[in-house]
């Protein structure tokens, strides 16, 4: 008897935050998929800790952002400590100001993210094949064939147009594709623990006790007396097995804090070495890598889980548009181009931040002990400094200005003359502002391109809408927005202009010539639409 073959559009290997996010995004575009994971179900371990503004903006498109905020803990304050005393107080309240509808850091751990995304899948009629792993993968010019093996030993074959490996740092997908994973490992030993703890602390405040060669980050989590501990234990760096007991960690924490604390329950504890690695490429034929399967880095800034979600947010619309015939296959090449470049930048940045927090180099110890407290306290008091730092950490500042999908030139002499006027560039995330008191992103939830015309009121531009619908149907939507003072301030021009947003709300082009000519040129030349 011949084995039945399951046919789908996309195979998703791994159902952590990255794989589940990809599934949610593909559902927005009506793309069929099979998703599986060797785990028994969504994790109960907290693992990754922070959800940043850019991720919440993505969640908001499918109605999940407010649920995350309600179930999480917003960090408002921070405190650096030396020798048991507070050496600097940090203010993170309204840290992002007017830069995002979510101007804060949200403690919303990985387990909660997975439950949130999985519940969304189930509510919309999809599910994960748990206790199932990837046994083999083959591909040709037409598609991908994967062999899946269940816990009971039974196998099944799934055929699809594309496959995406979201299966973590040890990624079987990456191994089967024969892709390298080069990088380095910190020699120092680190730990993470979720505990219930008696600790005299201010509400919604994290604490960072520092010594010359060790630290602990104490982060509030939702629930009474619930804390996350992250730190290093330099005295055990040379242990062959790379593990320490929690008793050893507890002693280290008390030594650093030098204040009364009592840990009453340990929910989860793990010690580990920190790795920084990335794959040589994030795509191989019809197969792609995303999240930890593609890149891993230090925990500085809580970037890991968020970056995996950004990876698949970038990839999903491109796969969908190719499958629907809206774009040519070449569009998919921009995934590796854009996200590999981002991973390179991220590894460099997180390595630098991590060195400041954890390195035992004498000059970094000097900076950490004597200079950092003064700088940190000073910086978080000023809006200009916050507006510089928040985009870096929250990922709203990430841009694709160097991407082949970002159009910076025009055949129009007038447009060339005015391009320099814009503060915002092609490849940037669409800035946040209010339109008639409402979030501009509320107009940008549909899974399509968005043509925005910013009008000075002399022209309504509504004649463009029927022309646009006739030419492009459901591919693009259209909005006319007044040139509010905030718009003029953000974009740096008081002239009427148009912006084309990609489906992931990054800017394809900005033009002072308000017509469909620029749009046609972009879609034909940059996206491969025919």
Specify burial of residue 40 (Cβ count, 10 A radius: 0-12, 13-18, 19+).
Answer: exposed
- CB-CB contact of 447 with 28 (8 Å): yes
pLDDT along the chain (530 residues), means of 10: 82 98 98 98 88 97 97 91 88 88 93 97 98 97 96 96 97 97 82 92 87 86 89 73 83 92 93 86 97 84 86 98 94 96 73 55 51 59 73 89 86 46 90 95 96 88 87 90 93 93 97 90 78
The CATH 3.40.30.120 domain(s) of the chain lie at: 413-527
Report, at the CATH architecture level, how domain 5-72+104-182+277-356 is classified. 3-Layer(bba) Sandwich (3.50)
Q: Give the strand order in the sheet containing 283-284.
A: 33-36, 10-13, 162-165, 287-289, 283-284
CA distance 138 to 503: 30
pLDDT digit string, tens, across residues 36-95: 999 999 998 888 889 999 999 999 999 999 999 999 999 989 998 988 898 888 888 888
Tell me if residue 46 falls in helix, strand or coil: coil
* Cα-Cα end-to-end distance for the chain: 44
Q: What is the largest CA-CA distance in the chain?
A: 74
What fold does the segment set 413-527 form as a domain?
A: Glutaredoxin (3.40.30)
Of 507, 476, 510, which is closest to residue 492 (Cα–Cα)? 510
Of 386, 286, 408, 295, which is closest to residue 342 (Cα–Cα)? 295
CA dihedral for 415, 419, 422, 428, sign (positive or negative): positive
Taking each continuous run of H as one helix and of E as one strand, the counts in the chain are 15, 26
Of 103, 298, 89, which is closest to residue 192 (Cα–Cα)? 298
The CATH 3.50.50.60 domain(s) of the chain lie at: 5-72+104-182+277-356
CA distance 491 to 478: 19
pLDDT at 362: 40
Predicted TM-score (pTM) of the model is 0.91
- 3-state SS track over 276-309: EEEECCCEECCEEECHHHCEECCCHHHCHHHHHH
CA distance 506 to 426: 8
pLDDT at 376: 62
Of 62, 7, 40, which is closest to residue 131 (Cα–Cα)? 40
Tell me if residue 112 falls in helix, strand or coil: helix
CB under 8 A, 24+ apart: contacts of 299-302 = 299/230, 299/274, 299/350, 299/354, 300/350, 300/351, 300/353, 300/354, 300/357, 301/50, 301/349, 301/350, 301/353, 301/393, 302/48, 302/49, 302/50, 302/52, 302/105
Which structure tokens are listed for 267? Answer: 């929910």
pLDDT at 242: 58
- 3-state SS track over 362-406: HHHHHHHHHHHHHHHHHHCCCHHHHHHHHHHHHCCCCCCCCCCCC
């Amino acid at each position: 008897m011949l084995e039945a073959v399951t046919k789908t559009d996309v195979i998703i290997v791994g159902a952590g935050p990255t794989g589940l996010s990809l599934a949610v995004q593909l559902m927005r575009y009506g793309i069929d998929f099979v998703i599986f994971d060797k785990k028994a179900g969504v994790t109960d371990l907290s693992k990754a800790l922070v959800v940043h503004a850019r991720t919440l903006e993505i969640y908001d498109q499918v109605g999940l952002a407010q649920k995350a905020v309600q179930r999480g803990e917003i960090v408002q304050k921070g405190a650096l400590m030396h020798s048991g005393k507070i050496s600097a107080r940090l203010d993170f309240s309204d840290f992002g100001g007017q830069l995002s509808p979510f101007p804060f850091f949200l403690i919303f751990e990985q387990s909660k993210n997975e439950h949130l995304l999985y519940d969304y899948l189930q509510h919309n009629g999809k599910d994960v094949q748990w206790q199932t792993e990837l046994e083999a993968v083959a591909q040709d010019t037409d598609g991908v064939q994967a062999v899946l093996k269940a816990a009971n030993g039974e196998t099944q074959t799934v055929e699809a147009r594309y496959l995406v490996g979201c299966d973590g740092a040890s990624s079987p997908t990456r191994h089967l594709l024969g892709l390298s994973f080069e990088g380095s490992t910190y020699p120092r030993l680190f730990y993470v623990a979720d505990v219930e703890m008696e600790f005299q602390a201010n509400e919604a405040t994290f604490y960072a006790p520092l010594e010359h060669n060790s630290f602990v980050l104490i982060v509030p989590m939702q629930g009474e007396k619930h804390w996350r501990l992250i730190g290093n234990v330099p005295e055990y760096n040379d242990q062959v097995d790379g593990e320490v007991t929690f008793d050893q960690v507890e002693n280290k924490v008390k030594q650093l804090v030098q204040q009364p604390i009592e840990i009453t329950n340990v929910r989860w504890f793990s010690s580990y070495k920190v790795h920084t690695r990335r794959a040589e490429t994030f795509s191989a034929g019809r197969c792609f890598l995303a999240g930890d399967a593609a890149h891993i880095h230090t925990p500085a800034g809580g970037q890991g889980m968020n970056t995996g979600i950004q990876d698949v947010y970038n990839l999903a619309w491109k796969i969908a548009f190719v499958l629907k015939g809206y774009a040519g296959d070449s569009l998919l090449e921009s995934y590796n181009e854009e996200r590999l470049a981002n991973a390179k930048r991220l590894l460099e940045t997180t390595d630098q931040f991590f060195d400041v927090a954890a390195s035992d180099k004498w000059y970094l110890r000097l900076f950490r002990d004597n200079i950092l407290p003064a700088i940190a306290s000073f910086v978080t008091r000023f809006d200009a400094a916050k507006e510089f730092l928040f985009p870096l950490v929250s990922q709203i500042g990430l841009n694709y200005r160097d991407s082949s999908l970002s159009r910076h030139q025009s055949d129009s002499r007038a447009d060339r003359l005015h391009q320099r006027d814009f503060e915002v560039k092609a490849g940037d995330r669409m800035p946040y502002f209010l339109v008639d008191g409402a979030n501009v992103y509320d107009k940008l939830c549909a899974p399509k391109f968005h043509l925005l015309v910013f009008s000075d009121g002399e022209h309504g531009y509504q004649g463009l809408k029927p022309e646009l619908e006739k030419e492009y149907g459901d591919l693009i939507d259209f909005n006319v927005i007044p040139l509010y003072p905030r718009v003029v301030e953000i974009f740096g021009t008081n002239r009427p202009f148009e912006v084309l947003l990609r489906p992931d709300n990054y800017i394809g082009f900005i033009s002072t010539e308000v017509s469909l000519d620029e749009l046609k040129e972009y879609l034909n030349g940059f996206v491969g639409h025919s």
